[in-house]
Amino acid sequence: MMDNILHIVPYESKHRSLILASQMNHILMDKDKEYSMDGKLLEENGLAFSGIYNDKIIVAGGMKLLWEGVAEGWVMANKDVWKHPIITARAIKKNFEKAAKAKNLKRVQTAIRSDFTVGKKFAKWLGLKEEGLMRRYGFDGSDQYMYARIF
């Protein structure tokens, strides 16, 4: 797939490992490498996807159902996402909205580090609204903001 096109494919747990093995898209996100979890936990039929550019996974994202109508959103990317920011952002937005509607979600929420300005701006661009600060919520003790979009 060396065709300079961002291909969207279903997320697989190995994609998490491939993204984490390279430099993350922001120095604050390098902390995610310290969090031990099974990438399979993020697999959700029809709700999780990855972006491949020239045979390299550069982004993965999706939603994990918490209960009927409510999901937790997530995105991870490596530094190569900055070589293709517009096409990647548009693909995430398109797949986010498409998946939320297909699964009849009423609410999608996500937690974002309080010091991750780019992440908060991206959440707002996706249509999420800040709901409040959650002190020491992160696995590393970081403060995080809850963002949510109501459909």
The CATH number assigned to the domain holding 91 equals 3.40.630.30
Contact 58, 75 (CB under 8 A): no
Report the pLDDT value the prediction gives residue 17, as an integer from 0 to 100: 84
pLDDT at 148 over 90: yes
Domain assignment present for residue 80? The answer is yes
pLDDT of residue 33: 55
Q: What pTM was estimated for this model as a whole?
A: 0.85
> Looking at residues 81-108, what average pLDDT do you find?
94
Residue 19 has pLDDT above 90, yes or no: no
- 14 in a structural domain: yes
Query: Within a domain: residue 1?
Result: no
**Looking at residues 32-50, what average pLDDT do you find?**
75
Higher-pLDDT residue of 48, 20: 48
Write b or e for each residue in 49-81: b if 16 or more Cβ atoms lie within 10 A of its Cβ, otherwise e: bbbbbeeebbbbbbbeeeeeeebbbebbbbebb
User: Is 111 among the domain residues?
Assistant: yes
What is the C-alpha separation between 120 and 128, in angstroms, rounded?
A: 9
- Cα–Cα nearest to 107, from 143, 67, 77, 134: 67
Domain interval for residue 46: 6-150
Number of compact structural domains in the chain? 1
The answer to whether residue 59 is domain-embedded is yes
Mean pLDDT of all residues belonging to the chain: 89
